[in-house]
Amino acid sequence: MTDRTPDPERGAAAFAADRAHVFHSWSAQKGLNPIVIAGAQGCYVWDYDGKRYLDFSSQLVNTNIGHQHPKVTAAIAGQAARLATIAPQHANEARGQAAERIVGLAPDGMSKVFFTNGGADANENAIRMARLHTGRDKVLSFYRSYHGNTGAAIASTGDPRRWPNEHATGHVHFFGPYLYRSSFWAATPEQECQRALEHLEQVITFEGPDTIAAILIETIVGTAGVLVPPPGYLAGVRALADKYGIVWIADEVMCGFGRAGTWFAFEPHGVAPDLITFAKGANSGYVPIGGVIISDEIAATFDERVYPGGLTYSGHPLACASVVATIDAMRDEGIVDNAARIGRQVLGPGLANLAQAHPVIGEVRGLAVFWALDLVSDRATRAMLAPYGGSSQALNELAAHCRAAGLLTFVNFNRLHVVPPCTISDEEAKEGLAILDEAFSAIDRYYEGS
């Protein structure tokens, strides 16, 4: 759909139906005022008034290939005409092809994929596999993390969404590397890496290595701040996992499939996990899907032993067809390379320029199309511009200004994340940066430092 002809009456009806009958996630319901999206194309969406928004959020950081990519929508339509659904106990062509494409991107020694409905149940099943493979129970994960909203996945999550949902047992949190707000009094990336790994080994020792099934970490922490691990950290995690017989699960739900400028975010670190979870990036969320890429060693655990898990829509044909089309299009069109280039040449330098101009930007961090701005009221103390677990007038005004200027943003606590589609052009990226410049000018008055 590319028709942007205004239809406010239809928009009003859609809004009324939503507010009357739809129960929104992660929200107090009464005060919601959602934008009613009428259509989308590429890096833009628009409402029923015809107003267009540049999508610097990729929705929930998932439209890596952009909105309405014609090859993906055609693949979904073609699959729907041929075989719209089939139970997972049957083989189907789309699922087999999707699995082939995915393991073709994975490290050697990983030749099986278990398909799920999304990222949360991908992590849920990865945890289950690790526990059954090791015969152990505990799962270690970062405090700064998000792994999904199902039982074990939300208990593994570190951010405040976990607090009202802690009903699963056997979950232990630890501090990952975050030099700007170091928990280890580190002054350099090397110190942060070394001390974070020493901390992790201490946690393993005190929890009891023989009780720990898995270390579950986002390769690049996403919602909790776009925390890129320092050189050597993932290699250190791999070494500790090997030392103590622990399964390393890499959560690539948000950072995988081009978001970090590579197919998987762990690739530049020269090490491979035992299980890889993926979801929305694999097909930009066009149809719900997720999955676990399984090492051959763990997969062999279930050669003669029943794996006690499954989902009605595991490997759904429409979703799998969209994965095949997405991976093929990303390869053919150089989309992963574009993400890396745009970060290196446009977004990275542009965000650095914003930080020079606006003191509320305490730190810029990220790569490719995966960036976060750590916002502060004082650069010397690094006092956050919004509290942990909450928002502030300054952040509310920032988001409102962007929205009014036609920019969709991803704001979380004291951070603004810059996470456009991997397909974004130089001109579109510069358009978004210009709007951010104006928005930060509007909230510079909240800076209290000298």
**Could you read off the pLDDT of 20-34 as tens digits, one per residue?**
999 999 999 999 999
Q: For domain 8-68+334-446, which architecture applies?
A: Alpha-Beta Complex (3.90)
In CATH, what number does 70-332 get? 3.40.640.10
- In this predicted structure, what is the pLDDT of residue 170? 95
Taking only the tens place, the pLDDT of each residue in 239-298 is 999 999 999 999 999 999 999 999 999 999 999 999 999 999 999 999 999 999 999 999
pLDDT of residue 390: 94
| Angstrom distance (rounded) from CA 271 to CA 49 | 49
- Asked if the model's pLDDT at residue 2 lies above 80, the reply is no
Q: Does 1 have pLDDT greater than 80? A: no
Percent above pLDDT 70 for the chain: 100
Q: Which residues does 315 contact at the CB level (< 8 Å), separation at least 6?
A: 88, 92, 94, 95, 98, 99, 115
Please report, for the chain, the start and end positions of each structural domain, with discontinuous segments joined by +: 8-68+334-446, 70-332
- Edge-first strand order for the sheet with 52-55 is 37-41, 44-47, 52-55, 407-408
**Cβ neighbourhood burial of 286 (10 Å; 0-12, 13-18, 19+):** buried
What's the pLDDT at 3?
Answer: 79
Question: Of 155-164, 197-206, 352-361, which gets the smallest average pLDDT?
Answer: 155-164
- 75-107 pLDDT tens trace: 999 999 999 999 999 999 999 999 999 999 999
pLDDT at 248: 99
> Cβ distance 204 to 240 under 8 Å?
yes
DSSP string covering 84-144: S---TTS--HHHHHHHHHHHHHSPTTEEEEEEESSHHHHHHHHHHHHHHHHT--EEEEESS
Q: How confident is the model at residue 4 (pLDDT cuts 50, 70, 90)?
A: confident
- Chain segment 378-422, per-residue pLDDT in tens: 999 999 999 999 999 999 999 999 999 999 999 999 999 999 999
User: 46 in helix, strand or coil?
Assistant: strand
Q: Cβ distance 353 to 443 under 8 Å? A: no
In sequence order, the 6+-apart residues with CB closer than 8 A to the CB of 440 are 354, 357, 358, 360, 361, 398
- pLDDT tens digits, residue range 112-168? 999 999 999 999 999 999 999 999 999 999 999 999 999 999 999 999 999 898 888
What pLDDT, on a 0 to 100 scale, did the predictor assign at position 378? 98
User: Are 8-68+334-446 and 70-332 the same fold in CATH?
Assistant: no
